Amino acid sequence: MCKYSFYNDYSEGAHPNIIHALINSNLIQEVGYGDDSFSLRAKDKISNLCGPNSDIYFVSGGTQANLICLASMLKPFESVIAAESGHITTHEAGAIESTGHKINTISIKDGKLKPNLIDSILKIHEDNHMVKPKVIFISNSTEVGTIYSKKELTLLSKFCKENDLYLYLDGARLASAITAEGNDLSILDITNLTDMFYIGGTKNGALLGEAIVINNSILKKDFKRLIKQRGGLLAKGRLMGIQFDELFSDNIYFELGKHANSMANKLTRGIKKLGFTFLTESNTNQIFPIFSNELIGKLNKLYGFYIWLVVNPENSAIRLVTSWATKEEFVNEFLLDLKALSK
């Protein structure tokens, strides 16, 4: 039994406001499948951030959002381009392939796709014996904690338009990305620059739930049937509505992201002070310090975390994840223990 878990950002339940809203709304009768008043109100609030031209749907998790959205954008022979570190590439048990589509992968250290990398994939897929890349899959923040700048996303978006590609953004950790030090992207920017994206709830204070935002009008038609078909339409859609209604009240969604980041930043500063380096530059809620395997073994008896990557025979990068619920006292304690153990 460890002192504290930095395994991930879904170790606790939900933000207290959500719990209260569940209590207060519990016995109100509502229609099912997402047409309830809570969902409508939550969509209104998200529309305030995205603008009025996007369609919004709620589904229960990130893999479900990804497989529903990507399959909706692809003809049978079309493929998705993603980073090798992309969540869909190896951590979704073949969910995208299960819908019939290949993922063309790009190996890139910071987990961020760039036009020239995508272009090199396009160039080797011109022959009609090959799949045709059609969707660019990116994550923000990425799976290695980095974020896209407004300039980078604008260039990607432009490249996609010029090459008849769709741009899709996995926002499982969008709250952390958007509130990170150095970020200059807003939800409105992302709406304008992508064809579809999702705003993650599960990893930012909800019990479950992601809000899919469809910006390209070609992709809007009959989307609900697709959600139903893939098993993503909850009978009690109110559960989604209530949660997103709360998250987008009083700026809470962003406050939670900011808290997670500040806890991670504190860890980063403390770890750097002790002389350690990191696998990637991250201002978001996932950080990847490199420790000796011996030190990792000792730390792991006290704290929960994943060993992310073998850097060399003696050293590995671990992943520390903070969340809306991370308590500062355990951040402090981790740093003290690290200092003690690494002497």
**Residue ranges in 245-304 that form contacts with its own copies under rule CB under 8 A:** none
Give CA separation, 250 vs 111, 245, 246, 247, 254, in Å.
32, 10, 8, 8, 9
* Cα–chain center distance at 195: 16
User: Contacts with its own copies in 121-140 (CB under 8 A)?
Assistant: 124, 128-132
* From 17, 47, 61, 110, residue interacting with its own copies (rule: CB under 8 A): 61
Shortest distance in whole angstroms from residue 154 CB to its own copies: 28
| Shortest distance (Å) from residue 181 CB to its own copies | 26
Nearer Cβ to its own copies, position 235 or 340?
235
Judging by DSSP bridges, how do beta strands 290-292 and 196-200 pair with one another? Answer: unpaired
As measured in angstroms, the least distance from the Cβ of 71 to its own copies is: 6
Which parts of 189-208 interact with its own copies (CB under 8 A)?
A: 202-203, 207-208
The gap from C-alpha 291 to its chain's centroid, in whole angstroms, comes to 26
Is residue 28 within 8 A of residue 233, CB to CB? The reply is no
Judged by CB under 8 A, the number of residues near its own copies is 77
21: enclosing H helix or E strand: helix 16-25
Nearest distance, CB of residue 148 and its own copies, angstroms? 23
Of 212, 235, 269, 217, the C-alpha closest to 69 is 212
Site for its own copies in 220-239 (CB under 8 A): 222, 224-226, 228-236, 238-239
From 5-13, 137-145, 255-263, 266-274, give the range in contact with its own copies by CB under 8 A: 5-13
Helix or strand (DSSP H, E) at 306: strand 306-310
Q: x/- site string to its own copies, residues 303 to 332, per CB under 8 A? A: ----------------------x-------
User: Would you say 330 and 5 are in contact if contact means Cβ atoms under 8 Å apart?
Assistant: no
The residue within the footprint of its own copies, chosen from 50, 68, 177, 214 (CB under 8 A), is 68
* Per-residue contact flags (x/-) with its own copies for residues 149 to 188, judged by CB under 8 A: ----------------------------------------
Q: How far is Cα of residue 81 from the mean position of the Cα atoms in its chain?
A: 17
Q: Which of 65, 321, 107, 343 is nearest to 211 (CA)?
A: 65
Name 289's bridge partners: 278
Residue whose CB is less far from its own copies, 176 or 183: 176
